[in-house]
Structure 1
Amino acid sequence: MTKYGPAAQKSVEKAMHKMKEGKLESGKSHKKVTSREQAIAIGLSEARKKGAKVPKKTSK
């Protein structure tokens, strides 16, 4: 069973591409994202908003 759907994978791929170009910004602060993990989190968050198959966020 796959964890993420193809739409979610595309969203993460686009976020990673933007990060490598230096164009990916974080939420309210609009700071440039340099962390790979943060880029993935942004991609998954955008996929969730679009209704793609992504597991719910885990609370810490």
Structure 2
Amino acid sequence: MRNNRLILVALLFLGLINFPLISLFDTSKTVGGVPVIYAYCLGVWFVVIALTGLILNDKNKK
């Protein structure tokens, strides 16, 4: 079950950083002085790391 969740997170990550979706954030605007595309990539990266950590530290290891 845990391996299936990790595979799902990996596929989600690949989908979120794929070209058609990431090109939506390729603008000249900034968020707090950081280009939007960098903020998006770092946000996606943080979410994937957090999800992976939650899956690996699950107390109900099945």
* TM-score > 0.5, shorter chain as reference: no
Would you tell me which structure has more strand in proportion to its own residues?
Answer: 2
Classify the TM-score, shorter chain.
0.3 to 0.5
Q: TM-score, normalised by structure 2?
A: 0.37
TM-score normalised to structure 1 length:
0.38
